[in-house]
Structure 1
Amino acid sequence: MLRILRPTTASRFIRFYSSETTSHVTPNFKKEPLTPLAKHLRDSVKVTGPLSLSHFMREVLVNPLKGYYMEGDVFGKQGDFVTSPEISQVFGELCGIWYLTEWMRLGRPDKTQLIEFGPGRGTLMSDMLRTLSQFPHFYKTITDVHLVEASPGLRKMQRAALVKGSGDKDVTRIEGNEHEAPIETITRQDGVRVSWHDGIEVVPDQWSFVMAHEFFDALPIHSFEKTGSEWREMMVDMDDTEESEHNFRIVKSPNPTAMTKSYLSDKKFDIDFKDGDRVDISPDCWGVMEKIAQYLDRNGGSGLAIDYGQDYIQGDTLRAIKDHKIIHPMCDPGSADLSADVDFSFLKQAILQGSGVSAYGPITQKDFLQSLGIQARIEQLFKNAKSSAARKTLLDGAERLMDPELMGRIYKVLAFSKEPNTIKEEPVGFEKKKCLLESDK
């Protein structure tokens, strides 16, 4: 789930906060209060020792003890960051048009459904459905919308955006087995069912469109630093010193961890990196994308992953955002968003290994939106705008989405689809951008 105020290159500020470089920090800070979540994290460190960044991120973002995303609305000017669909309706409209072109490219199936991961306020899905409803031959094929969302507060906001005027009494809860939470379902006036799930594992099998917009950046990472000829994992430990106001600090593991051995055994990590370099790896990103690919391989369909990041492995990209500003990632856990740059090369490997799904890109957000006709749509809306203020908002929003110095370049778009052998053309915007595994090149 992303955020406008992202640096356009990988941030290096985590190194400043590692345990080896705190001697120059002004002493005698007053410590932050220990919230219930911070106390839980402190107790975990006392029992198990320093936590991996992955474990820390997961607890901070989705722990029921006031995890960041569990409370509700964190988006918009009054929240901590602004997402692309909140900037301009055109973003969601053009994403909807892309899915329409995919429906036509892949054979116009009779039944389709939409699956979105991390739907935020529901703005993106609402804009896509509104746009797609203008194409009745396609829209009548949509039976369901499935939203993969962990936050009870955000589920309520999504329901308000997608099913106007609905209340708790309108929601049907379908009990799962002992390992599954109840599935919440509600039907829109146009007959499309909207359901909420904890994961794609419980989404019914059907030909599907998948959207993962600003979702992968919020999945936990493991971070490693090259130390001599070995790699050391960066961990989160208690900070009981008077040199920082924070209760936690990032430290380097004294020995290789199990995760180090699992993910950095490839010889390329010895050859391509020098002492002091860092790399971020997200097994969660791989796991989710692999499940998406297997789902589409089984059922057919197409999807998009849109996020900020690069098409190669990076390091030192963990950051926290609060009130539209980047802050220390150890500050008051649960009060700020934590995220990291997405490694799109990693997502492509997860798609291509073990499934028959094709991957395309990534391309920049600017190129993606241009290929779908953003200029023509902006001109149309500009002519119909009823005030100078509305016209200015429209143009400012388009600039933020497209400007390479803002969101146009750092945001990337990866497409993936299960294609019949008879399909020869690529998805709109991804002509000649088909990806291959190294062994297939």
Structure 2
Amino acid sequence: MSLKERLLARIARLGPMPVADYMAECLFDPRDGYYATRDPLGRGGDFITAPEISQMFGEVIGLWLAQVWMDQGQPDGVLAELGPGRGTLMADILRATRAVPGFHDAMALHLVEVSPVLRAAQAETLKGHDPSFHDSLADLPEGPLFVVANEFFDALPIRQFQMSEAGDWQERQVGARDGALIWGLAPPAPLDVRDGFKPGMIVETCKPAEAMAEELGRRIASHGGAALIVDYGDAESAGDTFQAMAGHAYADPLANPGQADLTAHVAFGPLARAAAPARASTLVPQGVFLERLGITDRAQVLARGLQGAALDAHIAAHRRLTHPGEMGTLFKVMALSPPDAAPPPALEPPDDGDADAT
């Protein structure tokens, strides 16, 4: 029985399911879930992430991590990545930091990954670095934690609520009709959201993301370290952002369960609030962050040894990572750090009294 058939059977038995349940089944079902069955990255997959575009992305982030580590007294700790893809980002981080005295010796490498296919790719890419694998953030050892999460939070299951003409909130659900999956709405229910919404508008919440931010904040506030979160999104929920990607193109999220990547834009404000007492930086566009870290200088150094098509591809990669019309503005960066630590490089602390830190 296919995943779609099993979802239809579940709906027939139990009724329509929240978007969060549908998203979780499609992405993480152990038999037919999207991440359980494939390597989704690269030209032959469904999407491409910043580390696959250019080594420069991971290199400058590696030096950012090393600087934070030095600013906090060079403690022995945990270097971790959440959702490490093929391991490309971590490989670039480790290469860029190998000349930083003591950094590799001080860090135990840990990866949080649920996909067996991607775990195998990560183990191959990071051969010689002996990474430890975990199913969840909670499994990481206690201690100073230096963690990167690039395009990780966007894949965590969201709930969607739509305001009715009467001003009530109705949860958006996935139902069934004539053998097809369809959209529907649950009966009205209370929802604690900010003012400013009008009938027909949608708000998204992501409790799994907030729970992870809370765990990161607890660890970092208690033991030190930092978390760097890079993802597409904005400070707060901004309407219906639930989407599917297949073959590098947008797809119908309900058409082929388990065969497309399902994501939603990240609301960074709730993450910042959940992470207290750790301090969240202000929210900065990816392009600004990378430029502050010197990516253009690095691009110029790498360009010296290139020509022709290779040089053109290098220039295009730099533009794609930083230009406002590409990933430079859509993607945002936020860091979590101990409340008494120096502000992380290239990121400002929030203004005094800014509860949202964004």
* Structure 2: distance between partners of 1:116 and 1:428: 19
* Structure 1: distance between partners of 2:352 and 2:57: 25
**Offset of 1:430 from its aligned partner?**
1.2
**Aligned counterpart in structure 1 of residue 178 of structure 2, from 223, 234, 240:** 240
In structure 2, the residue matched to 1:128 is: 93
Residue-by-residue CA offset, 1:233-267 (whole Å, 9 max, x unaligned): 100001317xxxxx2011111x12xxx43xx135x
Paired residues for 1:41-80 under 5 Å = 41-80=7-46
Matched, 1:293 2:200: no
In structure 2, the residue matched to 1:411 is: 331
Provide closer, same or farther for how the CA distance between residues 133 and 155 of structure 1 changes in structure 2, counting only shifts above 3 A. same
Matched, 1:328 2:252: yes
**Aligned counterpart in structure 1 of residue 302 of structure 2, from 376, 381, 396:** 381
* Structure 2: distance between partners of 1:136 and 1:42: 56
Matched, 1:87 2:53: yes
Paired residues for 1:14-53 under 5 Å = 36-53=2-19
Asked if structure 1 preserves the Cα contact closer than 8 Å seen for 2:144 and 2:219, the reply is no
**Offset of 1:196 from its aligned partner?**
0.6
Residue-by-residue CA offset, 1:62-118 (whole Å, 9 max, x unaligned): 101210011131100111001000000000001101101101222222x12211111
In structure 2, the residue matched to 1:307 is: 231
Matched, 1:282 2:203: no
* Structure 1: distance between partners of 2:192 and 2:279: 27
State the structure with more CA Rg: 1
**Offset of 1:292 from its aligned partner?**
1.3
Matched, 1:249 2:186: no
**Aligned counterpart in structure 1 of residue 122 of structure 2, from 116, 139, 158:** 158
**Offset of 1:435 from its aligned partner?**
7.4
**Offset of 1:201 from its aligned partner?**
1.5
CA root-mean-square deviation: 1.8
Residue-by-residue CA offset, 1:346-382 (whole Å, 9 max, x unaligned): 1111112xxx311102100011101110111000000
Q: TM-score, structure 2 length as denominator? A: 0.95
**Matching residue's letter, 2:17:** L
Provide closer, same or farther for how the CA distance between residues 439 and 145 of structure 1 changes in structure 2, counting only shifts above 3 A. closer
* Structure 1: distance between partners of 2:60 and 2:256: 38
In structure 1, the residue matched to 2:72 is: 106
**Offset of 1:138 from its aligned partner?**
2.3
Matched, 1:397 2:317: yes
* Structure 2: distance between partners of 1:53 and 1:69: 18
**Aligned-partner SS, 2:282:** strand
Structure 1 residue ranges, 4+ long, deviating more than 2 angstroms after superposition: 136-140, 431-440
**Aligned counterpart in structure 2 of residue 212 of structure 1, from 137, 145, 149:** 149
**Matching residue's letter, 2:334:** L
Asked if structure 1 preserves the Cα contact closer than 8 Å seen for 2:280 and 2:349, the reply is no
**Offset of 1:276 from its aligned partner?**
0.9
In structure 1, the residue matched to 2:346 is: 429
Asked if structure 1 preserves the Cα contact closer than 8 Å seen for 2:31 and 2:37, the reply is no
Q: TM-score, structure 1 length as denominator? A: 0.78
In structure 1, the residue matched to 2:284 is: 363
* Structure 2: distance between partners of 1:435 and 1:194: 39
Matched, 1:140 2:105: yes
Provide closer, same or farther for how the CA distance between residues 434 and 129 of structure 1 changes in structure 2, counting only shifts above 3 A. farther
**Matching residue's letter, 2:33:** G
Asked if structure 1 preserves the Cα contact closer than 8 Å seen for 2:204 and 2:239, the reply is yes
**Matching residue's letter, 1:218:** A
Aligned residues: 357
Provide closer, same or farther for how the CA distance between residues 435 and 409 of structure 1 changes in structure 2, counting only shifts above 3 A. farther
**Matching residue's letter, 1:382:** A
* Structure 2: distance between partners of 1:120 and 1:88: 14
* Structure 2: distance between partners of 1:288 and 1:147: 15
Q: Which moved more, 1:337-346 or 1:286-295?
A: 286-295
**Matching residue's letter, 1:214:** E
